[in-house]
Amino acid sequence: MTSTQLFLVLLNSKKRENLSELKWPGENTFEVIAGAVLVQNTAWKNVEKALENLRAAGKLSLDGILSLKADELAGLIKPSGFYNTKAKRLLGLCEAIKREFENFENFRQSVSRERLLSVKGVGAETCDAILTYACGRAAMVVDAYALRILGFLGYEFESYDEAAEWLGALNFGEIYEILDEGNFDEAEILKLYHALITEFCKENFKGKILSERGKQILSELK
**Domain harbouring 88, CATH code:** 1.10.340.30
pLDDT digits (tens, 9 = 90+) for 146-203: 999 999 999 999 999 999 999 999 999 999 998 876 778 999 999 999 999 999 999 9
Looking at the structure, tell me whether residues 74 and 144 fall in a common domain: no
Q: What are phi and psi of 70, to 5 degrees?
A: -55, -40
- Look at residues 73, 103, 133 and tell me which one is the last residue of a structural domain: 133
Distances (CA, A) of 16 to 8, 20, 32, 154, 157: 12, 9, 25, 28, 31
Write the single-letter amino acid at 63. D
Number of domains in the chain: 2
pLDDT digits (tens, 9 = 90+) for 45-95: 999 999 999 999 999 999 999 999 999 999 999 999 999 999 999 999 999
Question: pTM of the prediction?
Answer: 0.92
Neighbouring C-alpha atoms within 13 Å toward the C-beta of 38: 26
Q: Would you tell me how many other CB atoms lie within 10 Å of the CB of residue 205?
A: 16
SS3 for 95-158, per residue? HHHHHHHCCHHHHHHHCCHHHHHCCCCCCHHHHHHHHHHCCCCCCCCCCHHHHHHHHHCCCCCC
- Look at residues 133, 166, 189 and tell me which one is the last residue of a structural domain: 133
Domain range holding 152? 3-23+139-221
Looking at the structure, tell me whether residues 58 and 19 fall in a common domain: no
